[in-house]
């Protein structure tokens, strides 16, 4: 607000205070994750110690080793990654094409289509999950990545996001100029529209990826064999049934968490910028 | 239109896979069983502690199936039962599934679980091997569907150190004794709050278990939750004198004597950590204690009148050649050596009666209360009717609420009202399934 | 390019998406409505029509009513915690945009939203643990008696609210942050000229102007709250024999009715109730925010 002016002494102090408050709050937000990772390296007596400590007394890799030996954790992670990547690809494709068409072509039919897409966005997935399950069952796709994907092929918010972006950032004149030059519609879409949508598509990609990565209720019913579990389902069943051994549970959780955190930290800028340019205010 | 196109697209690769699988199977059969080197048998289990047993049974079959691989997928029982509901109708369940006969009933009625072949049926019906009770529960409509695996049978587990400290030499004899004992056994802190429960009763946790445990106590008082009538239908019988007595004991123990509370550590876990003095549970706890708390001083005792027996069977969703290995596996699990190993190492009770378990019982006397019992010791089992789960789960939810309701203490009218309302709900479920006996 | 060419492009571009929508959204939604009026046990070939019977039974089913109540408490609890907190945090982070730490703030607050649900819930399960958990350890420093967080029917719902809010916060903050960045600077300068301090301009400029964003975030948060399942599954589920208070939520009750009690029609009726609740809440929120905007 007062950029350009030299901040007063008071402003500096207030800024420092806000920083202090935010740092404390952020640390509190991160604390559960830190504790979890720390527990993964604690020995059994260390975990039972009262009061609980933040850091392990003598760090051990036993929990990690035991978990990797006892469960197909890496397989579950691979299932999740594959599912999330394919889901992201499907959502990006359908959102880009549909969002663009709905933004740049005017017709009453298309308005109805857009209304339907928006309306289904309000219906929670859980509402129609059971019929969708029977649908997948009939196709014989249970326990497969394809079966998992069925629930995650499209994202109404994604179509909305792309449509708003196209309206906000791609002028009609640009497209008309290309048409005058004799460019085909598909050429325009691939060569002009998609490159201009790189930002929002990146953001949507991150959203879609993590949406599939953290999916729970759907994979819980679509997968029934150990090999086909996603990491969320595998861990949830592991924790309710096999062991109350906190060290091992934490180790398993850590194996899953750390890559997530790294990937997100790398993609954060992309994500924030994408959302920031998404023109959500409409 | 678009709809169908997409579905066909989706089914395409799978169709190809099925064809490949069929071709591979045909090829395998053409080569004959001699080449059936790397056969895989998938077992779905709801009891993670059974995994080593299955591996062992697999080993014992190596003579007949040299390359046999046994893949056991064990998950918590509730989730196991749910995955069967999801997988059996779509024919994507494992080769061998492990299930209580009461739960299997529904799938048998629907034809999703197949009959056992003649040799397996003859094995089960051999009077030298199994009790008539087991044989009866293995069959539906006169046809054998299941091969016995083990049975869950309840008894009292008590901590002998804690009993000695409280000056108690003998296990309790009547249900009234249980409460008196519990009062003496409860350990309290300076504020009088219980830190070690005198008697860990199942008070919380979702699911049918609470109602099942309630039934065990009710049975000591001469009652049952539901009873089969002459016409083969069922009557709800717990809104009764026995029911009131049973629920009152729970409520008195929680709210009047305060020997146990819903949030205290409970069950086998608490018993192993000496956080409860006694509790009623199945024999697997013996195996569990041996693993997790080998130094615990404990003993077991018969219940006053009798106990629950919940037989678990092997079933198969397949028939013919496809199920051959599955049934060989189920029969091998009942070999004398495997039966003894099961009792000794896992702790679930095998059903073979012509096998000598005395060595295991001599080594682990806690098994006595499970295998040696007087002639008049009574048994009951969960009814093999399709909605049994729903009956138990819904009753359990009401019981949980009642256990936590302090206003029911000394309030017989309130207790009766709880039971009456719950019984009406049970009636509704039975009526919907066409199983309610006319009064 | 001819009009026909354009239409063939539109068709080719839209048809796959529309087909997918028909297959994985419209058809199942229609099927839920259909099933809710029928009785079906998964296995049987027949699905008798029962009219509104399922709904009539739901209206007196104690487990369903408990699930509905718990879910509503959780959803509104999360909403009440998340929205104000997120708005304040977004304003504070915005005020420190220039700070080198702003990236850290965004990451730290957003991370819980993307980490896998189950591991995160496991962390919280330990924090709430009655015997070993840090929460009771911290409270005992202040002389508070240890509480059985996950066993008490009221406290266990509170725990789920905390977990869900922890997860939902990052998304809300991010969206608010975007909103605040897009607000016209001139309005703040005008407010400043009128003598408003930063706190006043937050309440009199930021909050009212963020109304559309607030609407969007509230709808998303509330709908997510009504679909709570995984959190309850991990935090307050019942391992056999271990004590625990099962917090019954709608999705859990629905799945139990469908796949444990084999009553798909009945579960579908529950899903329809969930749908109606979500639609009504969305409509009310739109209405409320529009009203307040006019006043």
The model's pLDDT over A149-195, given as tens digits with 9 standing for 90+, comes to: 999 999 998 998 899 889 988 999 999 999 999 989 999 999 999 99
Reported confidence tier of residue C165, pLDDT bands at 50, 70, 90: very high
**What is the phi/psi pair of residue B70, to 5°?**
-105, 120
- C105 with A22: CB under 8 angstroms? yes
pLDDT of residue B78: 80
Q: Does B205 touch chain A (CB under 8 A)?
A: no
Distance (Å) from the alpha carbon of B373 to chain A's nearest alpha carbon: 32
Same domain, B99 and B198: no
Domain end call among B319, B354, B389:
B354
Ramachandran sector of residue B373 (left: φ over 0; alpha: ψ -120 to 50; beta: rest): beta
For B230, the domain range is 153-309+375-432
The three-state secondary structure class of B72 is strand
The three-state secondary structure class of A139 is coil
How many Cβ pairs within 8 Å bridge chains A and B?
50
Reported confidence tier of residue B350, pLDDT bands at 50, 70, 90: very high
Same domain, B85 and B115: yes
Same domain, B318 and B303: no
Q: Tell whether A160 is covered by a domain.
A: yes
Average pLDDT, chain A: 87
What is the rounded CA–CA span in Å between residue C124 and residue A36?
9
How many Cβ pairs within 8 Å bridge chains A and C?
277
Side-chain half-sphere of A147: how many Cα atoms within 13 Å? 25
Share of chain B above pLDDT 90, in %: 70
Q: Sign of the CA dihedral C261, C264, C266, C272?
A: positive
Length of chain C: 295
pLDDT of residue C289: 67
CATH of the domain at A105: 1.10.3720.10
- Give the containing element (helix H, strand E) for B149: strand B147-159
Reported confidence tier of residue B8, pLDDT bands at 50, 70, 90: very low
Same domain, B270 and B333: no
Average pLDDT, chain B: 88
Q: Does A187 touch chain C (CB under 8 A)?
A: no
Number of domains in chain A: 1
Number of domains in chain B: 2
pLDDT of residue C2: 65
- B168 with B371: CB under 8 angstroms? no
- What spatial distance separates the first Cα and last Cα of chain A, rounded to whole Å? 24
The three-state secondary structure class of A253 is helix
Q: Could you report the per-residue pLDDT of B113-139, keeping only the tens digit for each?
A: 999 999 999 999 999 999 999 999 999
- A274 with A200: CB under 8 angstroms? yes
Q: Tell whether A45 is covered by a domain.
A: no
* CB-based contacts of B385, cutoff 8 Å, min separation 6: B102, B105, B234, B433, B435
- Mutation to test the B interface, candidates C44, C47, C140, C260, most B Cβ within 10 Å: C260
The three-state secondary structure class of B147 is strand
Identify the DSSP state of B436.
B
CATH of the domain at B413: 3.40.190.10
Q: Does A58 touch chain C (CB under 8 A)?
A: no
Q: Could you report the per-residue pLDDT of B245-272, keeping only the tens digit for each?
A: 999 999 999 999 999 988 788 888 889 9
* Torsion on CA atoms B417, B418, B419, B424, rounded to nearest 10: 90
Q: Which residue has the tokens 């004198």?
A: B241
The pair of three-digit structure tokens given for residue C115, joined into one six-digit string:
């980490």
**What is the phi/psi pair of residue B20, to 5°?**
-60, -45
For C190, the domain range is 62-294
The three-state secondary structure class of B96 is strand
Q: Does B194 touch chain C (CB under 8 A)?
A: no
Kindly identify which residue of chain B lies nearest to residue C24, measuring between CA atoms.
B3
CB atoms within 10 A of CB C235: 23
**Which residues of chain A are within 8 Å of residue B18 when distances are taken between CB atoms?**
140
Contact C245 B262 (CB under 8 A): yes
What is the rounded CA–CA span in Å between residue B223 and residue B240?
8
Contact C188 A1 (CB under 8 A): yes
pLDDT of residue B7: 31
Contact C242 A272 (CB under 8 A): no
- Give the containing element (helix H, strand E) for A202: helix A198-213
Q: Does C15 touch chain B (CB under 8 A)?
A: yes
Q: Does A105 touch chain C (CB under 8 A)?
A: yes
The three-state secondary structure class of B143 is strand
Distance (Å) from the alpha carbon of B354 to chain C's nearest alpha carbon: 32
- What spatial distance separates the first Cα and last Cα of chain B, rounded to whole Å? 54
Same domain, B346 and B397: no
Nearest to A94 among C5, C17, C271 (CB): C17
- Give the containing element (helix H, strand E) for B98: strand B96-100
Q: Which of C135, C140, C150, C122 is nearest to C230 (CA)?
A: C122
Contact A244 B48 (CB under 8 A): no
pLDDT of residue B268: 87
**What is the phi/psi pair of residue B236, to 5°?**
-80, 125
Q: Could you report the per-residue pLDDT of A20-73, keeping only the tens digit for each?
A: 999 999 999 999 999 999 999 998 888 877 788 888 888 999 989 988 988 899
- Give the containing element (helix H, strand E) for A24: helix A9-39
For A133, the domain range is 71-242
Same domain, B71 and B182: no
Nearest to C23 among B3, B266, B268 (CB): B3
The pair of three-digit structure tokens given for residue B223, joined into one six-digit string:
């009652």
Q: Tell whether A101 is covered by a domain.
A: yes
Share of chain A above pLDDT 90, in %: 51
The mean pLDDT of C155-180, rounded to a whole number, is: 91
Q: Tell whether C56 is covered by a domain.
A: no
Distance (Å) from the alpha carbon of C209 to chain A's nearest alpha carbon: 10
Kindly identify which residue of chain C lies nearest to residue B432, measuring between CA atoms.
C39
pLDDT of C54 above 70: yes
Contact C110 A122 (CB under 8 A): no
Q: Which residue has the tokens 């579908």?
A: C268
Q: Tell whether B207 is covered by a domain.
A: yes
**Which residues of chain B are within 8 Å of residue A142 when distances are taken between CB atoms?**
86-87, 90, 92
Residues in A lying within 8 Å of B, measured between beta carbons = 133, 137-144, 146, 150, 221, 224-226, 237, 240-242, 244
Q: Tell whether C11 is covered by a domain.
A: no
The pair of three-digit structure tokens given for residue A162, joined into one six-digit string:
């792309």
Q: Are strands B378-380 and B306-315 parallel, antiparallel or unpaired?
A: parallel
Same domain, B105 and B142: yes
Q: Tell whether A278 is covered by a domain.
A: no
Contact B73 A225 (CB under 8 A): yes
Q: Does C44 touch chain B (CB under 8 A)?
A: yes
Q: Tell whether B2 is covered by a domain.
A: no
Reported confidence tier of residue B86, pLDDT bands at 50, 70, 90: confident
Contact B77 C242 (CB under 8 A): no
Q: Tell whether A21 is covered by a domain.
A: no
Contact A139 B86 (CB under 8 A): no
Q: Tell whether C55 is covered by a domain.
A: no
Count, in order, helices (H) and strands (E) of chain C.
15, 0
Distance (Å) from the alpha carbon of A226 to chain B's nearest alpha carbon: 6
Q: Tell whether C24 is covered by a domain.
A: no
Q: Does C22 touch chain B (CB under 8 A)?
A: yes
pLDDT of residue B32: 42
**Which residues of chain B are within 8 Å of residue C261 when distances are taken between CB atoms?**
387, 389-390, 393
Residues 245..304 of B with a Cβ closer than 8 Å to A: which?
269
What is the b/e burial string over B96-123, where b = at least 16 CB atoms within 10 angstroms of the residue's CB?
bbbbbbbbbbbbbbbebbbbbbeebbeb
- A210 with C114: CB under 8 angstroms? yes
Chains in touch with C (≥3 Cβ pairs < 8 A): A, B
The pair of three-digit structure tokens given for residue A181, joined into one six-digit string:
């030059």
Cα–Cα distances (Å) from B362 to B61, B345, B366, B371, C108, in that order, read: 29, 14, 9, 12, 60
- Give the containing element (helix H, strand E) for C138: helix C134-141
Chains in touch with A (≥3 Cβ pairs < 8 A): B, C
**Which residues of chain C are within 8 Å of residue B77 when distances are taken between CB atoms?**
240
What is the rounded CA–CA span in Å between residue A125 and residue A103?
25
Contact C22 B204 (CB under 8 A): no
Contact C178 A280 (CB under 8 A): yes
Q: Tell whether A37 is covered by a domain.
A: no
Kindly identify which residue of chain A lies nearest to residue C272, measuring between CA atoms.
A127
* CB-based contacts of B9, cutoff 8 Å, min separation 6: none
Q: Tell whether B363 is covered by a domain.
A: no
Residues 308..347 of B with a Cβ closer than 8 Å to A: which?
none
Q: Tell whether C180 is covered by a domain.
A: yes
pLDDT of B155 above 90: yes
Same domain, B134 and B197: no
Cis peptide bond N-terminal to A51, omega within 30: yes
Q: Tell whether C42 is covered by a domain.
A: no
- B364 with B299: CB under 8 angstroms? no
The CA-CA-CA angle for residues C174, C177, C179, to 5°, reads 115
Kindly identify which residue of chain C lies nearest to residue B280, measuring between CA atoms.
C241
What is the rounded CA–CA span in Å between residue B124 and residue A220?
36
Reported confidence tier of residue B61, pLDDT bands at 50, 70, 90: very high
CB atoms within 10 A of CB B370: 23
Same domain, B382 and B417: yes
Contact C271 A127 (CB under 8 A): yes
The three-state secondary structure class of B354 is coil
Same domain, B76 and B106: yes
What DSSP string describes A51-104?
SPPSS-SS--SHHHHHHHHHS-HHHHHHHHHHHHHHHHHHHHHHHHHHHHHHHH
The mean pLDDT of B53-62, rounded to a whole number, is: 94
The three-state secondary structure class of A17 is helix
Distance (Å) from the alpha carbon of B217 to chain A's nearest alpha carbon: 26
Q: Does C151 touch chain B (CB under 8 A)?
A: yes
The CA-CA-CA angle for residues B82, B73, B98, to 5°, reads 60
**Which residues of chain C are within 8 Å of residue A18 when distances are taken between CB atoms?**
92, 95-96
**Which residues of chain A are within 8 Å of residue B89 when distances are taken between CB atoms?**
137
pLDDT of B291 above 80: yes
Q: Does A245 touch chain C (CB under 8 A)?
A: no
Contact B386 C148 (CB under 8 A): no
pLDDT of residue B185: 97
- Give the containing element (helix H, strand E) for A28: helix A9-39
Contact A241 B90 (CB under 8 A): no
Q: Does C115 touch chain B (CB under 8 A)?
A: no
What is the b/e burial string over C160-181, where b = at least 16 CB atoms within 10 angstroms of the residue's CB?
bbbbbbbbbbbbbbbbbbbbbe
How many Cβ pairs within 8 Å bridge chains B and C?
101
Q: Tell whether C282 is covered by a domain.
A: yes
Q: Does B83 touch chain A (CB under 8 A)?
A: yes
pLDDT of C4 above 80: no
CB atoms within 10 A of CB B48: 16
CATH of the domain at C215: 1.10.3720.10
Number of domains in chain C: 1
pLDDT of residue B34: 40
Same domain, B102 and B118: yes
Distance (Å) from the alpha carbon of B30 to chain C's nearest alpha carbon: 35
Q: Tell whether C23 is covered by a domain.
A: no
Nearest to B48 among A133, A224, A242 (CB): A242
pLDDT of C236 above 80: no
């Amino acid at each position: 607000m007062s950029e350009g002016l030299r901040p007063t002494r008071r402003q500096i102090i207030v800024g420092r205070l806000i920083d202090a408050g935010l740092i404390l709050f952020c640390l509190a937000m991160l604390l559960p994750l830190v504790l979890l990772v720390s527990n993964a390296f604690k020995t059994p007596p260390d975990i039972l110690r009262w009061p609980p400590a933040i850091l392990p007394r003598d760090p051990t890799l036993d929990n990690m080793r035991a978990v990797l030996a006892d469960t197909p954790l890496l397989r579950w992670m691979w299932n999740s990654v594959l599912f999330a990547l394919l889901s992201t690809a499907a959502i990006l494709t359908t959102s880009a094409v549909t969002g663009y068409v709905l933004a740049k072509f005017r017709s009453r039919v298309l308005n109805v289509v857009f209304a339907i897409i928006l309306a289904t966005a309000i219906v929670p997935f859980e509402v129609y999950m059971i019929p969708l399950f029977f649908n997948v069952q009939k196709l014989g796709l249970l326990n497969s990545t394809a079966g998992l994907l069925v629930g995650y092929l499209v994202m109404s918010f994604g179509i909305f996001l792309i449509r708003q972006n196209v309206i906000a950032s791609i002028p009609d004149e640009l497209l008309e100029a290309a048409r005058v030059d004799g460019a085909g519609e598909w050429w325009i879409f691939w060569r002009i529209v998609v490159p201009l949508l790189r930002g929002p598509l990146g953001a949507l990609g991150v959203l879609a990826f993590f949406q599939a990565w953290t999916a729970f209720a759907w994979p819980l019913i679509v997968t029934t064999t150990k090999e086909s579990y996603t990491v969320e389902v595998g861990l949830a069943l592991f924790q309710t049934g096999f062991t109350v051994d906190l060290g091992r549970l934490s180790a398993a959780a850590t194996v899953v968490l750390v890559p997530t955190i790294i990937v997100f930290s790398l993609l954060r800028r992309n994500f924030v910028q994408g959302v920031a340019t998404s023109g959500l205010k409409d | 239109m678009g709809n169908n196109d997409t579905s066909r697209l989706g089914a395409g690769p799978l169709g190809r896979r099925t064809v490949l699988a069929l071709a591979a199977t045909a090829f395998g059969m053409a080569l004959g069983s001699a080449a059936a080197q790397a056969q895989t048998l998938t077992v779905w289990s709801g009891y993670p502690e059974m995994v080593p047993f299955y591996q062992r049974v697999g080993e014992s079959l190596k003579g007949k199936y040299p390359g046999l691989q046994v893949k056991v997928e064990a998950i918590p029982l509730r989730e196991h039962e749910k995955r069967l509901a999801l997988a059996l109708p779509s024919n994507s369940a494992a080769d061998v599934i492990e299930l209580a006969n009461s739960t299997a009933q529904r799938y048998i009625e629907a034809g999703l679980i197949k009959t056992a072949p003649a040799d397996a049926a003859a094995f089960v019906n051999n009077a030298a091997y199994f009790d008539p009770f087991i044989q009866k529960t293995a069959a539906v409509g006169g046809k054998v569907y299941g091969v016995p695996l083990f049975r869950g049978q309840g008894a009292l587990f008590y901590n002998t150190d804690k009993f000695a400290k409280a000056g108690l030499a003998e296990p309790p004899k009547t249900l009234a004794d249980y409460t008196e004992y519990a009062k003496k056994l409860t350990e309290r802190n300076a504020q009088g709050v219980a830190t070690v429960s005198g008697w860990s009763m199942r008070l919380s946790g979702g699911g049918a278990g609470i109602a099942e445990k309630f039934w065990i106590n009710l049975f000591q008082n001469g009652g049952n939750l539901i009873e089969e009538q002459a016409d083969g239908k069922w009557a709800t019988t717990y809104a009764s004198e026995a029911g009131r007595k049973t629920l009152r004991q729970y409520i008195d123990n929680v709210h009047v004597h305060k020997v146990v509370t819903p949030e205290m550590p409970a069950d086998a876990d608490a018993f192993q950590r000496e956080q409860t003095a006694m509790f009623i549970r199945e024999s697997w706890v013996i195996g569990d204690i041996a693993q997790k708390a080998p130094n615990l001083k404990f003993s077991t005792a018969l219940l006053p009148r009798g106990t629950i027996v919940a037989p678990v069977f092997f079933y198969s969703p397949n028939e013919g050649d496809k199920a051959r290995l599955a049934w060989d596996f189920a029969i091998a699990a009942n070999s004398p050596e495997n039966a003894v190993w099961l009792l000794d190492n896992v702790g679930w009770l095998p059903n073979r009666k012509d096998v000598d378990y005395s060595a295991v019982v001599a080594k682990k006397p806690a098994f006595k209360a499970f295998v040696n019992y007087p002639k008049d010791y009574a048994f009951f089992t969960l009814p093999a009717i399709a909605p049994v789960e729903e009956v138990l789960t819904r009753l359990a939810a009401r019981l949980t609420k009642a256990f936590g309701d302090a206003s029911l203490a000394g309030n017989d009218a309130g207790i009766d009202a709880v039971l009456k309302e719950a019984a009406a709900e049970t009636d509704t479920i039975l009526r919907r399934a066409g199983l309610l006996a006319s009064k | 390019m001819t009009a026909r060419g354009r239409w063939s492009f539109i068709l080719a571009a839209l048809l796959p998406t529309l087909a997918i929508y028909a297959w994985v959204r419209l058809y199942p939604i229609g099927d839920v409505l259909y099933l809710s009026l029928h009785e079906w046990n998964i296995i049987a070939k027949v699905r008798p029509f029962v009219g509104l019977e399922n709904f009539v039974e739901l209206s007196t089913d104690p487990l369903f009513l408990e699930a509905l109540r718990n879910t509503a408490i959780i959803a509104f609890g999360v909403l009440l915690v998340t929205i104000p907190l997120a708005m304040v945090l977004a304003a504070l982070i915005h005020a420190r945009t220039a700070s080198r730490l702003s990236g850290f703030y965004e990451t730290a607050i957003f991370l819980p939203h993307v980490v896998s649900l189950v591991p995160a819930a496991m962390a919280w399960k330990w924090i709430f643990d009655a015997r070993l958990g840090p929460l009771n350890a911290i409270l005992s420093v202040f002389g508070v008696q240890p509480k059985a967080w996950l066993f008490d029917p009221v406290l266990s719902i509170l725990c789920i609210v905390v977990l869900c809010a922890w997860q939902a916060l990052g998304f809300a903050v991010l969206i608010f942050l975007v909103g605040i960045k897009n607000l016209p600077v001139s309005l703040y300068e005008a407010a400043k000229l009128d003598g408003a301090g930063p706190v006043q301009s937050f309440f009199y400029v930021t909050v009212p102007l963020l109304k559309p964003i607030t609407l969007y975030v509230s709808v998303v948060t509330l709908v997510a709250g009504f679909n709570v399942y995984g959190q309850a599954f991990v935090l307050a589920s019942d391992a056999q024999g271990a004590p625990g208070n099962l917090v019954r939520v709608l999705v859990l009750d629905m799945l139990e009715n469908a796949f444990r009690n084999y009553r798909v029609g009945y579960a579908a009726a529950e899903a329809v109730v969930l749908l109606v609740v979500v639609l009504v809440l969305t409509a009310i929120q739109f209405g409320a925010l529009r009203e307040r905007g006019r006043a």
